[in-house]
Structure 1
């Protein structure tokens, strides 16, 4: 998923609201024939932008929370795998492939936006380990948490936590798409409408007019280029 600096959207909206406030101060002198830049239409765009940004903020918090919970769970998986490896080494000869499955699944990238594929790999690996243990007649752990049924329960927990992150990521992505439509859609997005309003005020009141000077320097533009996931 691509992450964009949320401050850009908030700043654009704040300046758009200042633009609307200036238009209100013009009173009945502001009478564009184009419906999309009339006061009522601009106010509706502002409301939609506020709602879409608030929704992205909420879903971002939920996504990051689920990522943190998942990371904690997979930290526990590293210790479980280490314990399994010790038992297998003492009870039977373990192949290089089996060793890789156990040791190789121990690393988790320490980043909030670590690759989703990494966690899918860890889950697949853990599932394979459990299948391997089921075929090992020498696997008889004393520790309750390392017994096959409990390992299967732990796998289910990890699976659900990983699925929750995927679901929250999808919700967040959809919310960002909606937000970007409201803010940056060609012709009718918030940024495009702000530019049209400025042009109208410029030609209606004049380049040197107080009305145009009040809004000319309001920065309302496209957001910075997306930042790719770590």
Structure 2
């Protein structure tokens, strides 16, 4: 029976917004579990005494232990990444309504229209709302003032919010009584948005590192779990023959390889 060489793709960490396992994540764990099954099987073969140390039962057990540890480390970092994403989502929940409240306040202060328009443009960039179409006679004049509304990443939202707060520092009439709209508190809020975004970046970097370490253990050509498992099967085939029950049994233990 031939070994499977299926190539499941792995999602990046940001897609971990849901808790479902991807095909590749399941495949990695199955490879490690099947290595344990392979070890148990060859351990009972009386003639199993490979000429290379990497295929010995002790070496296979060490490989299994290392691979199991790497799977656990990946899951730990994956959960940390999901938690960071959740915390970032919570931090940004009130951003759009806060920007609306700020702009509504500016509109009643009798400010120059250009200042209000600038604030509105920043609000649209943060909220992802399209600018209302201007009358045909004004369209040409308004076109140069538009700001792209596609800048919707969390980093860009926080960045645009910071620019909006910088604008507020130039408006002496902006002096709200509501604590949550006071400039000092808005700056604290902005800092929390930046921190939440940076925490996701850090968690994702740590997850990526652990996935690379795991993939090195599992799939490095010649020394990874996948290659070692192939060589174990080849050795059993050479030892007992292609039609032997010993080889047929181990060849039925399936290992998959990612791209």
- Tell me the CA shift for residue 77 of structure 1: 1.0
Separation of aligned partners in 2, 1:181 and 1:30: 27
**Deviant stretches of 4+, over 6 Å:** none
SS class of match (2:36): helix
Q: What secondary structure sits across from 1:105 in the alignment?
A: helix
As a proportion of its length, which structure holds more helix? 1
Deviation at 1:2, TM superposition (A): 2.5
From 66, 88, 99, the equivalent of 1:70 is 88
- How do residues 1-230 of structure 1 correspond to structure 2 at under 5 angstroms? 2=12, 5-27=24-46, 29-91=47-109, 92=111, 93=113, 94-107=115-128, 118-223=153-258
> CA offsets, 1:12-69, max 9 Å, x none?
1111111011011114x11011111111111111011000001101110110011011
In structure 1, the residue matched to 2:134 is none
1:114-138 CA-to-partner distances (Å, cap 9, x unmatched) read: xx98111011111101100000122
Q: Alpha-carbon deviation of 1:95? A: 4.4
Q: How far did residue 96 of structure 1 move?
A: 3.4
C-alpha distance in structure 2 between counterparts of 1:162 and 1:117, whole Å: 13
Aligned residues: 216
Shift of 1:98: 2.7
Q: Unmatched 5+ residue regions in structure 2? A: 1-10, 14-21, 130-150
Q: CA deviation at 1:206?
A: 0.6
Structure exhibiting the larger radius of gyration computed from Cα positions: 2
TM-score (normalised: structure 1): 0.89
TM-score, normalising length: structure 2:
0.79
